[in-house]
Amino acid sequence: MGESRQSYLVAATSAVSLLRDPAVTAAWDKPSALTEFSVGGLAGHLAHQIVRVRDALAADNGAAQEPIGLIEHFSRSPWVQAGLDHESNVFVRRGGEASAADGPAALVERTQALLDLLTAALPAEPVDRVVHLPWTDWSLTLDDFLLTRLVELVVHSDDLAASVGIETPALPDSVIDPAVELLARLAVHRHGATAVIRTLSRAERAPATISAF
């Protein structure tokens, strides 16, 4: 199995373990560290990064188009620079809350079952597999799509841990390195190389933000 697929499964396994944490269960109905997300809703959104992969693998291969690159993927995605009230972000929050509606135990059970399915399915996928994303109407290589989900798992695991007052899960370099690389590429695309270099090397000249999103 390719390194990107293994890294995704490591991140997903860590996320499911975080969903099981008693601190998450205890805070389920409380506000999270993300505006307008409950802890349960954020947990549902974290779990959705596993659901999305199942959905992409199940999508009609005949609909697949020439895959686009990751920078173009994020540039086309309306949520990236949209405000909290944009329909894309409202939809995301509603989806997370809906996933959490039947409680933490049910969410964990469903998500673990999906992870078991993906653990068996991903190694069998062709190296050059392209997946069509019906919710965007464009296509990515499977490995690029898994990288987008890996970043979501890393970022939202930190959000969820911060929301319930526990340490962010430790992840290996095989997960962290590609996440940091993609976030850095997106930051350069959004703010320019000079802004990113200054922030990383010259605090006195750093801009207010180099956030990738």
Examine residue 210 and state whether it is found in any structural domain, yes or no.
no
The reply to whether 54 falls in a domain is yes
On whether residue 87 sits in a domain, the answer given is: yes
Contact 155, 42 (CB under 8 A): no
Give the chain's domain count: 1
Residue whose structure tokens are 């959000």: 159
Q: Which residues contact 209 (CB under 8 A, 6 or more apart)?
A: 191
Domain range for 30 is: 3-166
Average pLDDT of 161-190?
96
Q: How many residues does the chain have?
A: 213
Q: In 155-213, where do the E strands start and end? A: none
Rounded mean pLDDT, 17-27: 98
- Mean of all residue pLDDT scores within the chain: 91
Q: How many CA atoms lie within 13 A of 186 on its CB side?
A: 24
**Bridge partners for 83 per DSSP:** none
Q: For residues 48 and 115, is the Cβ–Cβ distance under 8 A?
A: no
Q: CA 41, 76, 65 angle in degrees (round to 5)? A: 105
pTM value is 0.92
| 199 in any annotated domain | no
For residue 18, what is the domain's CATH number? 1.20.120.450
> What is the pLDDT, as a whole number, of residue 87?
67
Judge whether 11 lies within some domain. Answer: yes
